[in-house]
Amino acid sequence: MKRTAFAAVSSIALIASSAAFAEPQAEVLHWWTSGGEAKSVAVLQKEFADNGGTWTDMPVAGGGGDAAMSALRARVLSGNAPTAVQLKGPAIQEWYEEGVLANISAVAEAEGWADVLPASIAGHMKCEGEWCAAPVNVHRVDWIWANADVLEANGIAMPTTWDEFNAAAAKLQAAGVIPLAHGGQAWQDATVFEAVALGILGAEGFHKAFVELDEATLTSDAMVAVFDQMRTMRGYVDANFSGRDWNLATAMVMNGEAAFQIMGDWAKGEFMAAGKVPGEDFLCASTPGEGFLYNVDSFAMFDVDGDDKKAGQDLLAKLIVGPSFQEVFNLNKGSIPARTDVALDKFDTCAHLSADDMKASSENGSLLPSYAHGMALRGAQSGAITDVVTAHFNSDMSSADAVAQLAQAVASSY
């Protein structure tokens, strides 16, 4: 049954030959509507136009993409799907199972994507072995950001273990500095939780827990230790954290009100936009432990009628993974290129660290999908985990009770 999930009935060769004579058309649904993101999309629009294409923009505001997904479902149900849609992780597979995605393997193979993308990231872009989506970037999630002056003033180095983090936090708290800038929103709680989990469980344990949903790992003593560390960290957050947006937490680190923030590298965009210099004004390091948690933005191609739309799809896929767009977009976004062969001369020191770590992690098997940012699990399972994480963080629930609820929530989510 799954073999028919690509709805296109024409052969790839026929599409390619007929599309070559059509003017490329693309209607693109995305939720990149602010600042550097909008600027980056404009670059892609220009590249598309420079190559003879006509772009119809379909931006839907809302950072998490929920509104965009509602708009997409309405379009697909009416039989009028957009050419390309911003999707990521398991959501790509869910739409594939609906039988509405196009096969873009001809472009991917012609452009040699398999040779320039890390294998684990390429895997998200394939549907039963055929390419169905194009990756834009790689965001690292497990970052710790710090105010350089605050650390220096208090004689603190960037922590490399959670014990070192706790000791630094206690020292900062005694000096009247908020140790950890945090926003009390469920996804932010989950972001901190998975960084702690990676450090305590290790790469293999993280994969077992948050990719395989292995019950033994979810109920292990190590998982109790993860919640213990989360309880400790709750004590390092200020009293006004509830509901705070992530960028406001970043601003607390920027202005010296707080020392650390655990957040993906979109936080770096805030520092850079304010004219701050990495290594001088702010510091970046992976959170304690080994491994690399990634969040990859990508565009899935939907099955469309008409040679002009198919030509637009092929051109768009080629440009998205092309070296030029990969460089320009990621310089604006704070992330790094999904391609491993893009020169990083124009990128900052944190981006270089991220690229080096991604390469090393890809080679040693510790390059892992973020559960908190929709890469590792489908919505029901990730939501079940986050509900327990947030409930624990905002109450006096014991770590043992949290672990028991975690296993129960996961089991009930299917």
Considering the domain boundaries, does residue 104 fall inside one?
Answer: yes
Question: Does residue 163 sit in the same domain as residue 283?
Answer: yes
- The Cα 126–Cα 121 span in angstroms is 10
- pLDDT at residue 236 tops 80: yes
Q: Is residue 358 part of a domain?
A: no
The full 3-state SS of 48-81, as one line of letters, equals: HHHCCCEEEEEECCCCCCHHHHHHHHHHHHCCCC
CATH code for the domain of 309? 3.40.190.10
Angle at 218 between CA 249 and CA 195, to 5 degrees: 25
Q: Is residue 340 part of a domain?
A: yes
Where would I find the H helices in 295-366? Answer: 307-320, 323-333, 349-364
| Pair (88, 150) in one structural domain | no
- Pairing state between β 298-301 and 282-286: unpaired
Q: Nearest 5°: phi and psi at 237?
A: -100, 145
Same-domain pairing of 33 and 106: yes
For residues 123 and 217, membership in a common domain is answered with no
- The predicted structure's pLDDT at residue 117: 96
Give the Cα separation of 58 and 35 in Å (integer). Answer: 17
Mean pLDDT of 152-177: 98
Domain match, 109 and 36 both: yes
Residues 249 and 345 in one domain: no
Residue numbers of the domain that contains 102: 2-138+296-353
Paired tokens of 331: 């310089």
Q: Which residues contact 267 (CB under 8 A, 6 or more apart)?
A: 143, 145, 246, 247, 250, 261, 334
Q: Write phi, then psi, for 297 (nearest 5 degrees).
A: -80, 145
The percentage of the chain sitting over the pLDDT mark of 70, rounded to a whole number, equals 94
The C-alpha angle with vertex 184 and arms to 297 and 386, in degrees rounded to 5, equals 60
In sequence order, what are the beta bridge partners of 54?
A: 25
Per-residue pLDDT, averaged over 27-45, amounts to 85
Task: Give me the residues paired with residue 336 across strands.
Answer: 138
Same domain, residue pair 46 and 112: yes
* Number of domains present in the structure of the chain: 2
Let me know if residue 190 belongs to a domain. Answer: yes
- Low-confidence winner among 241-245, 270-274, 317-321 (lowest mean pLDDT): 270-274
Per-residue 3-state assignment (H helix, E strand, C coil) for 131-197: ECEEECEEEECCEEEEEHHHHHHCCCCCCCCHHHHHHHHHHHHHCCCEEECCCECHHHHHHHHHHHH
Q: How does pLDDT run across 52-84, given as a tens digit for each residue?
A: 999 999 999 866 677 888 999 999 999 999 999
pTM score > 0.85 for this model? Answer: yes
Q: Where is average pLDDT lowest: 31-40, 113-122, 269-278, 282-291?
A: 31-40
What does each C-alpha distance from 348 to 31, 271, 354 come to in angstroms? Answer: 26, 12, 10
Contacts of 360 (CB under 8 A, 6+ apart): none
Q: What is the mean pLDDT of residues 381-387?
A: 97
SS3 label, residue 115: helix
Verify that 373 and 268 share a domain, yes or no: yes
